Amino acid sequence: MTIVITGATGNVGRPLVAELAAAGAPVRAVTRTPKTARFPAGVEVVGSAAEALSGASAVFLNSRALGEALPVFVAECVRAGVTKLVALSAINADDDFSLQPSRFRGDRNKEVESLAMDSGLSWVSLRPSAFATNFAGMWSAQIRAGDVVTGPYAQASSAPIVESDISAVAARALLTDELVGQRVTLTGPQALTNSELTEVIGAVLGRALRYQEAPPDVVRQRFIGLGFPAEFADAYIKMLAETLDQPALVTSDVEKILGRPALSFAHWVAEHRAVFTEKMGA
């Protein structure tokens, strides 16, 4: 039966659709741009989550993509006879909301997990750490412009995960029952400070990059200039401050599930060099 992917053009959804299609699974991709979105041959594309459920056996829940319709959509999954929900949550889903910057970009990590668990259906919750892509959004313009990345707390630690690792685990959760009833915490293979992450990018690019701490008000204005809400900036700064006393959590769940180590941040940078070297739109 069909597997429905919400947020199908996102950083996790797009590689997940490709992975499922390559495995021969019937896939229905939900996107706000069904006429222009491009997916592998055989993938059914629909423009709304509500029209995607007929004949579906499993659904990947992306709370940002579903927005305020999330609880109604989960109820519709139950009524439509879906048997499994795989929720995209986050490693910090249990933290105070003021420490969850992604909430201010539309993520509802705690809610999507709770709705899946309370649905009465088989469920899996994926709790990834910071996406590798996040550092492109925050730092790429600075790196294209010079050799210094400015931001808060040089010694703040994270263990970025490559999005294709999340999608690979999500595919396993959707195609098998191996992970049913689990909250799966997914991280990259190594905890790195902001200074170390900058050095990794520099090593891949062959440049001597360095990280320079900036006052919170400067960081806040930079985020706003990049189009992030001010509340996102405040939560991000506060979240990083909480990590100064200990390295970020690193788990082996990716390796246990996929039978190979999690991809490194350096691997991701090497595959996305252009993000840090080419002008936007070039």
Give the span between the Cα atoms of 73 and 70, in whole angstroms: 5
d(CA 69, CA 72) in angstroms, rounded, equals 5
Counting Cβ atoms within 10 Å, is residue 95 exposed (0-12), middle (13-18) or buried (19+)? middle
> What pLDDT, on a 0 to 100 scale, did the predictor assign at position 251?
98
Q: How far apart are CA 154 and CA 234, in angstroms?
A: 17
Candidates 97, 107, 95; CA nearest to 6 is: 107
pLDDT in the model for residue 263: 98
User: Which residues neighbour 18 within 8 Å (Cβ) at sequence distance 6 or greater?
Assistant: 39, 40
Token code pair at residue 94 = 């249990």
Count Cβ atoms within 10 A of the Cβ of residue 208 and give its class: 0-12 exposed, 13-18 middle, 19 or more buried.
exposed
Q: Residue 133: in which H helix or E strand, if any?
A: helix 133-145
* Residue range 32-78, pLDDT digits in tens: 999 999 999 999 999 999 899 999 999 999 999 999 999 999 999 99
Q: How confident is the model at residue 280 (pLDDT cuts 50, 70, 90)?
A: low
Q: Tell me if residue 87 falls in helix, strand or coil.
A: strand
Rounded Cα distance, 281 and 19, in Å: 28
Q: Looking at residue 282, what is its pLDDT? A: 42
DSSP label of 94: T
Domains, in order of start, for the chain: 2-130+161-188+248-262 (3.40.50.720)
Here the tokens at position 199 are 């050095």
pLDDT in tens, 77-124: 999 999 999 999 999 999 999 999 999 999 999 999 999 999 999 999
